Amino acid sequence: MNVKTVLVIEALTDIVLMAIKLTVGLITNSSAIISDALHSLTDLANNGIALIAIRLSEQPNDAGHHYGHRKFEHLAVFSLAVLLAVVAVELVSNAIRNYGEPVAQSGIGIVVLLVALACNIGLTAWEHYWARRLDSDLLQADAKHTLSDVLTTIAVIGGWQFAAMGFYWVDTLMAIVVAIVILILAFRLLLRAIPILVDASAHAPDELAAEIEKVVQVDHVRQVRARNTKDGNYADVIISVDPTMPTVNAHQVTEEIESLLRRQFDIHDVVVHVEPSE
């Protein structure tokens, strides 16, 4: 079992669940159920984007991508977040437009949705298990997404039942709740993707420079640039040293800086440029 296989199995399950929810929603004319079906559609889109991103990010370095293709995964996450936000807006619009429309009760429908809910609960637990076993951040995030399906389906069933008794505002409210959950999910995805896409750093340059200047024979730190990624942290450092220092000693200084940044800041890819002091 690998990450791709887990995502494919989940995608097939999502297709079945989406078809079940959409069928019940159209039969009963429930905005909340239809919105939940569309939420399942976003799960399917999430799986597709994740599979494509994994395939692209696994490509080796080439002439046009010297640092590899890992950012394609985070670009895909960003795209998914935007898609989710658009879907959330559409759900709210649809719920308001259909407010007051008759909502039919259906014994078969409630049974089918409860079965779909049980499947989602099992799928969430199963994906969490493989996320831990494969140590995959992507699967962990996707498992949390599936968990949001469980919560929204519970809200949808409640909204449908109240609407069938004449409390139409509850059905509309539940559809809006689903949309809010999707927006929160989109926001969290953005918080994961944007810092990596814009090369954010967990440490301020002054903080890094202050520690580097403690290294013996470093006269001054002229520039420090750092960035964090999912697979490791990077730093580019420019230091000045005594212009008469032998090359072998300058090399030892750079190794000390690399060791310092690795030990104190978990930065494992460091490039140190040495210049003579003025």
CATH code: domain of residue 231: 3.30.70.1350
Q: Do 216 and 188 fall into the same domain?
A: no
Q: List C-alpha distances in Å: 108 to 28, 66, 75, 105.
A: 11, 57, 42, 9
Task: Give residue 101's pLDDT.
Answer: 64
Q: Do 13 and 56 fall into the same domain?
A: yes
Average pLDDT on 61-78 reads 76
Q: Domain ends where: 157, 174, 197?
A: 197
Average pLDDT on 183-193 reads 83
Q: Do 182 and 226 fall into the same domain?
A: no
Task: Give residue 102's pLDDT.
Answer: 62
DSSP lists the bridge partners of residue 240 as: 220, 275
Task: Give residue 273's pLDDT.
Answer: 92
Q: Domain ends where: 197, 218, 239?
A: 197
Q: Do 193 and 212 fall into the same domain?
A: no
User: pLDDT per residue over 11-61, tens digit each?
Assistant: 888 888 888 878 877 877 766 677 677 767 777 777 787 788 777 777 887
Q: Domain ends where: 197, 217, 238?
A: 197
Higher pLDDT, 71 or 258: 258
Task: Give residue 103's pLDDT.
Answer: 63
Q: Do 97 and 138 fall into the same domain?
A: yes
Angle CA 265–67–240, to nearest 5? 50
d(Cα 102, Cα 110) in Å, to the nearest integer?
17
Q: Do 209 and 192 fall into the same domain?
A: no
3-state SS class at 72: helix
Q: Do 191 and 234 fall into the same domain?
A: no
Q: Do 191 and 253 fall into the same domain?
A: no
d(Cα 253, Cα 261) in Å, to the nearest integer?
13
Average pLDDT on 225-235 reads 82
DSSP lists the bridge partners of residue 62 as: 65
DSSP lists the bridge partners of residue 274 as: 239
Contacts of residue 170, defined as CB under 8 A and 6 or more positions apart, other chains included, come to 158, 159, 162, 163
Q: Provide the domain limits for residue 176.
A: 3-197
DSSP lists the bridge partners of residue 272 as: 237
Q: Do 171 and 135 fall into the same domain?
A: yes
**How would DSSP label each residue in 159-196?**
HHHHHHTT-HHHHHHHHHHHHHHHHHHHHHHHHHHHHH
Per-residue pLDDT band at 237 (split at 50, 70, 90): very high
Question: Is the model's pLDDT at 274 over the cut of 80?
Answer: yes
Percent of the chain clearing pLDDT 90 (strictly above):
7
DSSP lists the bridge partners of residue 223 as: 238
Task: Give residue 255's pLDDT.
Answer: 92
Per-residue pLDDT band at 104 (split at 50, 70, 90): low
The number of domains in the chain is 2
Question: Is the model's pLDDT at 264 over the cut of 80?
Answer: yes
- Lowest-confidence pick of 1-5, 96-100, 124-128: 96-100
Task: Identify the CATH number of the domain in which residue 139 sits.
Answer: 1.20.1510.10
Question: Is the model's pLDDT at 84 over the cut of 70?
Answer: yes
Which contacts qualify for 242-247: CB closer than 8 Å, 24 or more apart? 242/217, 242/276, 242/277, 243/276, 243/277, 245/217
Q: Do 40 and 116 fall into the same domain?
A: yes
Please, are residues 259 and 273 in contact by the beta-carbon 8 Å criterion?
no
Average pLDDT of every residue of the chain: 80
Task: Give residue 100's pLDDT.
Answer: 65
Average pLDDT on 143-164 reads 74
- Lowest-confidence pick of 6-15, 27-36, 98-107, 249-258: 98-107
